[in-house]
Structure 1
Amino acid sequence: MPKQLTFIHAADLHLGASFRGLRALSDVWANRLFSAIVEAYDRVIDAALDRQVDFVVIAGDIFDSARASYGDYLHFFEGLKRLDKAGIPSYLVSGNHDPYTSWTRDFFAFPPSTRMLPADRPGFELFVREGEPLCIIGGRGYYNQTWPIDECIAEGVTRAAAEQALAELHPRAGEAPFAVGVLHTGLDVDPVKAPVEPRVLMRAGMDYWALGHIHLKLAYPSFDDPRLVFSGCIQGRDVKETGERGVYQVTLTEGARNRVEFIPTASVVWQRMAVDVSDCDSLAGIADKIMRELFRENGKAHCEQMVARITLEGATSLHPLLERPGVLDDLRKHVNDSYSEFFCDTLLDATVQPRDKEALRSEGLFPSVFLQVAEAQRGNAEGEVAYVQDEFLKKNVPLPGSCIRAVQELAEDAENLVLDLLSQGDER
């Protein structure tokens, strides 16, 4: 019968993370997210215990700061002790947020079954089940908060090196059917944080690489054949980290492809939402539609609570009203007061005034000329980028790549803004 191994792959816990930006809007929700990270870590431990996995791997950035608090250490070590008591070993590497030099060993000693792999060299461990070698674990952590650009963090982290390093203490290490690598790396996604070419890891003789640092769920070559995997963070911390967050249960089986099962751990999920209000005839109608969309998104997100950044879209006669000072703030407050499980951190207006552009073109007045010029400009994407680039350079500001990619969308927004200003002139 083929041998099989299951383990939890977690990364980027960021225990102790602060929420300064959100705290400016709501102390209650900043505190809620602070506790959500702790809860997410508890769910990682609960998942390992409930599923009776063989071991747990945490691929760096356990703490958000190199100066983690006593309370953060205490809670983290309590989780490790729960695993140890259940006979589930844990294997850790340090990350750029919590480098090896920052770990304060004076606070606590690791439980007997916990191993932190070194940062000044590759480190290796052997997982044994019922007296038989089952899995080699190899990896390396961050020594301090930066990684030398001329060094490869994966150098020497290979199965062959592991078997050689373990041979003296574990002569049968080479019989282990599985090998798992653990790194905190930017892979080929982030060229600054210990980057590694995927082909380097694929040639290392490891069956699975548990990676940390990228706060997204990623698998190489694919999720159908997951060999190099980022599990993402366990709890989103801001609107850049939208959607469900969690860990993977990894199953390795002799003669079969790796399998990963996502386990959600975040109790609070961040979302970006676009709400089309073109069918709303009042502010109350807009508020009702926002709430309906919030419930719909919440149902898909597998979470208890949600923080949303909401953009109102569509052509609506309410557009001038939404542009008035204070209206969006009042609407956001109404939404936040309506249901305690949702919080809108920002409400944006991207609606437009309903208008018949063809009719404007046929009138032959200034709006007609403007629309012809705008249309011609949009037909020259390179020219638009060059114009925007020049305007940024005049102010000694580099042009963000996001502006280049969205230049057509920005041009349409500018067109609608000019038409809004022209219509305001007509009203006066």
Structure 2
Amino acid sequence: MVKFIHAADLHLDSPFKSRSKMPNNILEILMTSTYKSVTRMVDFAIKENVDFLLIAGDVFDQANRSLKSEIFLKKEFNRLKEKGIFVYMIHGNHDPISTGFKTTWPDNVSVFKENVETYEMLSSKGERIYLHGFSYLLDESYENKLDEYPTNTDNRGIHIGMLHGTYAKTKFDAKRYTEFNLEALNNKLYHYWALGHIHVRSQLSDLPQIHYSGNIQGRHKNEAGEKGFLLVEGDDVSLSANFVPVQEVIFENLELDTDSLRKETLYQQIVEFKQSLREQSKYIINLQLNYDGEDEISQGDYIELLELLQEDEVNITQFVWIDNINVSYNNEEQIALLKDIKTSYSDNEELFRNAVNTMYMDPNINRYLPPIGEVSPGELLKMGEDRLKMLMRK
């Protein structure tokens, strides 16, 4: 039996661009979120007494790589060393080995070089493990070295491939480094492939097990949902991978149904919605309101509502920050028609007088109407709008 962690795309020191307008309490938590996620992962590795930890590239964020991040990671690796847990790490396009600091890691850490290498180790249960991989030398080069990975031909031990690259059929938006197809991986006859580069957790195959673990902490709305690593357990016959969340902040795209666009009502609904999330985690949310009605929210009310909801999160540790609100009108076509009618005809005095005269000339109608001099254009338009709305519902 073997037990190990598959992680990738830590992106320590990720800058969280465009977040400078957030309150300091939220910005500070964001800037340390990747560090806290790594610490949680190391805590879990120690608690579960795993055999080793795999990091499949982009450990650092090259443009923002700092001495602080390297010292931090060195301390975390030393914590693992004290418990006899090994680390195997490859570098990706964001942290190629040709740039940055030349860190000396603890001797429990093995870093793959630019050519494909194989490391051999024994698990705590005596299972022989073979780990194959390579690190990127340059950030912009197309380093497809799959042909250099050795094929498992002797059927002994557990073979694991580490690769930072792009699945040829991926639907996710990412630069295409070391593009591969499943046939190329399957041909190596490995038991597990630990993939990095795509920041969305996904399983490409169950025999053999081929996984992207996703990144360890989301950084924007396109990296939504829980983030973490995979805990892999089993033997040369069967391996299973289970997701373990360790993110500090969850980016999420959520929806809320509403039957009113009055700012006071909306504010109360969204406050209650935030409270239902607050106990679970810290959130940064893009909120879509699904509105079933004929009204519209004004730009002024929208800005006031959003600002008030954001002000509520200042100095709140367990924050639920509403980053943006989008209103989806279920009756969008009807609203557009009414708006067009108002824009086109509400200021047309001649059209108004013709309509009034037509009504008062009809003996079946005029007896129910007030004196013609008392008819208000606004009241008439309101009556017409109500009638249109009633007809649209049929």
Q: TM-score, normalised by structure 2?
A: 0.79
Structure 2 matches for 1:347-426, cutoff 5 A? 347-351=325-329, 417=336, 419-426=338-345
The equivalent of 2:247 in structure 1 is 266
- Asked whether the equivalents of residues 191 and 236 of structure 2 are also in contact (C-alpha less than 8 Å), the reply is no
CA distance in 2, matches of 1:265, 1:291: 26
Asked whether 1:207 is paired with 2:126, we answer no
Aligned to 1:72: 69
Aligned-pair distance for 1:54? 0.5
Report the CA distance between 1:227 and its aligned residue. Answer: 1.3
Contact residue 277 and residue 320 of structure 2 kept, 8 A: no
Cross-structure match for 1:393: none
Structure ID, larger Rg: 2
Any idea what SS the aligned residue of 2:329 has? coil
What is the aligned counterpart of 1:337 among 288, 311, 317?
A: 311
Do residues 285 (structure 1) and 277 (structure 2) align? no
Residue in structure 2 matching 1:144, options 138, 144, 163: 138
Q: Which amino acid aligns with 2:134?
A: R
In structure 1, the partner of 2:358 is: none
| Aligned match of 1:157 | 149
Q: SS of 2:148's equivalent?
A: coil
Note closer, same or farther for the CA distance 1:175–1:274 as it changes in structure 2 (3 Å cut).
closer
Partner of 1:372: none
Deviation at 1:159, TM superposition (A): 4.1
Q: Point out the structure with the larger helix share.
A: 1
Give the corresponding residue for 1:197: 181
> What CA RMSD, in Å, does the superposition of the two structures yield over aligned residues?
2.4
The alpha carbon displacement at 1:155 in A equals 2.1
Q: Which residue of 2 aligns with 1:24?
A: 21
Percent identity of paired positions between Structure 1 and Structure 2: 22
Structure 1 residue 28: Cα displacement:
3.6
Cα distance in structure 1, aligned partners of 2:82 and 2:12: 22
Shift of 1:27: 4.2
Rounded Cα–Cα distance in structure 1 between residues aligned with 2:215 and 2:162: 15
Amino acid at match of 1:343: W
Q: Is the 8 A contact 1:66 1:99 kept in 2?
A: no
Structure 1 residue runs without a partner (length 5+):
164-173, 355-412
Give the Cα separation in 1 of the matches to 2:57 and 2:323: 29
Q: Aligned in 2, Cα 1:420/1:342: closer, same or farther, shift over 3 Å?
A: same
Give the distance between the partners of 1:273 and 1:281, measured in 2 at CA.
18
180 and 102 in structure 1: CA distance in 2 versus 1, 3 angstrom threshold: same
TM-score with structure 1 length normalisation? 0.73
Work out whether residues 277 and 316 of structure 1, in 8 Å CA contact, stay in contact via their aligned partners in 2. Answer: no
Tell me: CA distance 1:416–1:51, structure 2 relative to 1, closer, same or farther (3 Å): same
Alignment of 1:181-196 (within 5 A): 181-188=161-168, 189=170, 192-196=176-180
Counterparts of 2:73 and 2:87, CA distance in 1: 12
Distance in 2 separating the partners of 1:197 and 1:204: 12
Name the CA distance, whole Å, in 2 between partners of 1:131 and 1:293. 49
Q: How many residues align?
A: 339
Separation in 2 of the partners of 1:145 and 1:273? 35
- The 5-angstrom pairing of residues 128-143 of structure 1 reads 128-129=122-123, 132=126, 134-143=128-137
The 3 A distance-change label for structure 1 pair 205 and 329 is same
Query: Aligned equivalents of 2:282 and 2:176: distance in 1?
Result: 34
Does the 8 Å contact 1:234/1:265 carry over to 2? yes
